[in-house]
Structure 1
Amino acid sequence: MRLSELAEAIGVDFSGEECEISGLGTLKGAKRNELSFLDNPKYIKDLATTEAAAVLVSPKYADAVPEGTAALVDEEPYLKLALASAFFAPVPMKRSGAKPLIGEGSEIAENVAFGKDVVVGRGVTIMPGCYIGDEVRIDDDTLLYPNVTLYNRTIIGKRCIIHAGTVIGSDGYGFAHTKEGKHVKLHQLGNVVIEDDVEIGANCAIDRGTLDATVIKEGAKLDNLVHVAHNCEIGEHSLITGQVGLSGSTKLGRNVVMGGQSGTAGHLEIGPFATIAARGGVTKSIEGGKVYAGFPLMEHKRWLKLNALLSRLLEKKK
């Protein structure tokens, strides 16, 4: 869309150099023909170096928009981004495109459903009931158990194992909120990238990125019933056990271990080789190489001492 037309459609004033907008992008990743936004002050450092053609921004950050990038100033930039995303949302199913390209030695069950422009590598096994969406890529020697669903543009690496009932690439939980309390869908335009030698348990849900990719890196292992929200990054060889929930834009370093029913708030980082004990709640970024427990989260030894102290206090009251 022409930038002036897009601005008018979402109700934002625009004056400046006209250009074509072909998509949306993050401040860090946007190209010269894309629209970006700034809503969270955590990302103000990325505004100075963005290559986006235009940025939706609140008045207090308007002066920080770099030269050569148009500032679309509005009190509710995230809401306006949500409105803009509807114009770039992909169609649920492509009407035209190539038939699946299946590599040598792959075994595909009869009732597997394929979208358009799918590429499957060599030695891949796809069991009954799976759905492989448009433009999906599955690399060599990967195994999909029954009823796995891969949404459009999902990328799966080599030697991965994905267990029954898992959904990869579903929409992230992204909504902008109006002043009247209505919820406007932010269409999820990214995808999911799963690198080599990853194993994902049964009935997991891994959301596609809002604008970029949700990434699970090489060698990571996910247990059953894990939820990975949009824009998360799980580091190499990390271990994520049952019923863990990662909020949006959580970044795990390599070899992070998360115990059962532990979880994170969004937009934080967990350092490499950190361990979160069962039911631990991570609410802010933490350094790696340590063991944590509890809610609010603290180092595991301190958590043990706290519980011992509470136990002695209760004994004294008897």
Structure 2
Amino acid sequence: MQAPLFLSSIAQEIGITNPIANDFIIHALTPLEYGEEHDVSYIDQVQYFRVLAESKVGAVLVRERDYEAHKASFPAHVQPLFVRNPHLAFAKLSQKFAQSEFADPFAPTLYDKSTKPSYPNIQPCAQIMQGVHIGENVTIGARTLIMPGVVISDDVVIGDDCKIYPNVVIYRQSMIGNRVNIHAGSVIGSDGFGYAHTDSGEHCKIEHNGIVRIDDDVEIGANVTIDRAVFGQTHIKHGVKIDNLVQIGHNCVIGEHSLLVSQVGLAGSTSTGRNVVMGGQAGTGGHIHIGDFTQIAGRGAVGKNLPPNTKWGGHPLMPLDEWMKFYVSLRRMLKKQEG
């Protein structure tokens, strides 16, 4: 069992420069809006100071100059921790909370139906084929089929009537609803792509300790990757259909009944409303929201929030009708030059 991690014990390691007025055992790293009194968060951009008034976190990593400029935003219970680079300090601290994928690395690698496992909760009418690795405290629902080569890590929940095709990997604590199909080679809950950077250009890994949650009636194609959240959850909502070779970054939220066509790539914290359609090879920058019933044409590059009930295309992105006219005009200009 990991020893308690006191705030004072990590001060020197992550570069806290001011005295710690209220020492406590750190329970978790959280966003400002979700934390509790023994949790730690960070502020790297000034717009997040507006969230502080309602925050319950016990301490916040922050630049001293930013704190001085926004001192009035700090509630009395939130302790500022001065660091040069809050993002880098957070990355270093996140490594203290890294979790192993399997509780017992020497556990048997195959689920043998002839011996009842002591820890997974598998419904008798579920089908587990040969060559499946199941971790501790896994729940598998009724009539769910797990095909050969699947690896299921600890604390995963899979609902009823699911089909998990060969060589799928489901990382720890992932939550999968009912009637979910995940096709061959897909990876659910892998570590997100997040790094902080030192002054000399080295990359410091941010450990992702959140989860992936997949709601009912979701279809996930082959070789799709859905990254788990830094904290909180990456959420695929009810009825979403995802084509092959799609990448969904950490903390993304995909709205109900949305369609993501092959090779779509969503950067971290992208969110969509319901019934969003993204054509092949379309992509987004991070922290972008796409409104309900919005459509993105293939190869569309989304770099800003998009309103609901609209259609977009191109790079740079523009309304779809405008982009089609622009493309036709460009073709005409090229033909004139050639003639």
Q: If the length of structure 2 is used for normalisation, what is the TM-score? A: 0.91
Long gaps (5+) in structure 1? none
Cα distance, 1:287 vs. partner? Answer: 0.6
Residue 10 in 1 paired to residue 10 in 2?
no
Residue 148 in 1 paired to residue 164 in 2?
no
CA distance change for structure 1 residues 69 and 22 in 2, over 3 Å: closer, same or farther?
same
The one of 24, 36, 44 equivalent to 1:39 is 44
- Whether the 8 Å contact between 2:264 and 2:279 is mirrored in structure 1 is yes
CA distance change for structure 1 residues 267 and 197 in 2, over 3 Å: closer, same or farther?
same
The one of 43, 57, 69 equivalent to 2:62 is 57
* Cα distance in 1 between the residues matched to 2:296 and 2:162: 29
Cα distance, 1:309 vs. partner? Answer: 1.8
- Identity, % of aligned pairs? 43
CA distance change for structure 1 residues 54 and 204 in 2, over 3 Å: closer, same or farther?
same
**Paired residue for 1:296?**
316
Residue 72 in 1 paired to residue 77 in 2?
no
* Cα distance in 2 between the residues matched to 1:40 and 1:274: 29
Residue 312 in 1 paired to residue 317 in 2?
no
**Paired residue for 2:113?**
none
Q: Write the letter of the residue equivalent to 1:82.
A: A
- Whether the 8 Å contact between 1:55 and 1:65 is mirrored in structure 2 is no
- Whether the 8 Å contact between 2:180 and 2:217 is mirrored in structure 1 is yes
SS in 1 for 2:229: coil
Long gaps (5+) in structure 2? 108-116
- Whether the 8 Å contact between 1:38 and 1:47 is mirrored in structure 2 is no
Aligned length: 318
Residue 131 in 1 paired to residue 151 in 2?
yes
Cα distance, 1:42 vs. partner? Answer: 4.3
- Whether the 8 Å contact between 2:120 and 2:136 is mirrored in structure 1 is yes
| Alignment deviations for residues 62-94 of structure 1 (CA, whole Å, 9 cap, x no partner) | 223322011112220000001101111112321
* Cα distance in 1 between the residues matched to 2:198 and 2:118: 41
Within 5 Å, which residues of 2 pair with 1:186-265? 186-265=206-285
Within 5 Å, which residues of 2 pair with 1:56-135? 56-62=61-67, 63=71, 64-95=73-104, 99-135=119-155
* Cα distance in 2 between the residues matched to 1:15 and 1:82: 20
Cα distance, 1:49 vs. partner? Answer: 1.6
* Cα distance in 1 between the residues matched to 2:43 and 2:158: 34
The one of 187, 190, 214 equivalent to 1:167 is 187
* Cα distance in 2 between the residues matched to 1:173 and 1:70: 29
Q: Write the letter of the residue equivalent to 2:14.
A: I
SS in 2 for 1:86: helix
- Whether the 8 Å contact between 1:120 and 1:139 is mirrored in structure 2 is yes
Q: Write the letter of the residue equivalent to 2:92.
A: L
* Cα distance in 2 between the residues matched to 1:197 and 1:277: 25
| Alignment deviations for residues 111-134 of structure 1 (CA, whole Å, 9 cap, x no partner) | 110111111111111000000100
Aligned Cα root-mean-square deviation (Å): 1.5
Q: Write the letter of the residue equivalent to 2:221.
A: G
Cα distance, 1:104 vs. partner? Answer: 3.2
Large movers: runs of 4+ above 4 Å? none
**Paired residue for 2:24?**
19
Q: Write the letter of the residue equivalent to 1:16.
A: A
Q: If the length of structure 1 is used for normalisation, what is the TM-score? A: 0.96
Deviates more, 1:270-279 or 1:96-105: 96-105
* Cα distance in 1 between the residues matched to 2:120 and 2:308: 43
